[in-house]
Amino acid sequence: MRLINRKNFISITCISFTLIVMVKLIAEKIMGFTDENYSGNIFVCLLISVLVTFILALHYYLQNFPFIPVFIAQYILVTGIALGMIKIMGSFTDIAKSAYRDMIISVTIPFIVCAIVYYISFYRQIRKANEIIERISEQQV
């Protein structure tokens, strides 16, 4: 069952981006932090949203494998790509000493939240499909 497809990819990405930015802004307001690199970080949030949505959409192709290894592989892939981006950016500009740690945190939180929402929706759809199949089989007997 495919939950993320071409038709809803952009809307799902936009929703996750909006939620990530809202949480970022609320957390900064609570901590009294002012982001000096606000515009750059907003684009990083957008990139993370696209990346996480794309990686979660790959679940459709990995349904035949056990859930836990797929989830771990998806997380490692998202984190690896994010750390690779930091490595590439470090070649062109100075990065903070905590850049890798900060990026892992910045990727982990949205990934886990999006994955929880995705997999709950997925298992609800599976349960609904099983109930429909059960009703159809009862009617045929």
Sequential DSSP letters for 24-46: HHHHHHHHT---TTHHHHHHHHH
For residue range 65-120, what is the model confidence (pLDDT) as tens digits? 988 898 899 999 999 998 998 888 888 888 888 888 888 888 888 888 888 888 88
What DSSP character marks residue 141?
-
Q: The pTM is what?
A: 0.74
**Residue 134, Cβ density class (10 Å: 0-12 exposed, 13-18 middle, ≥19 buried):** exposed
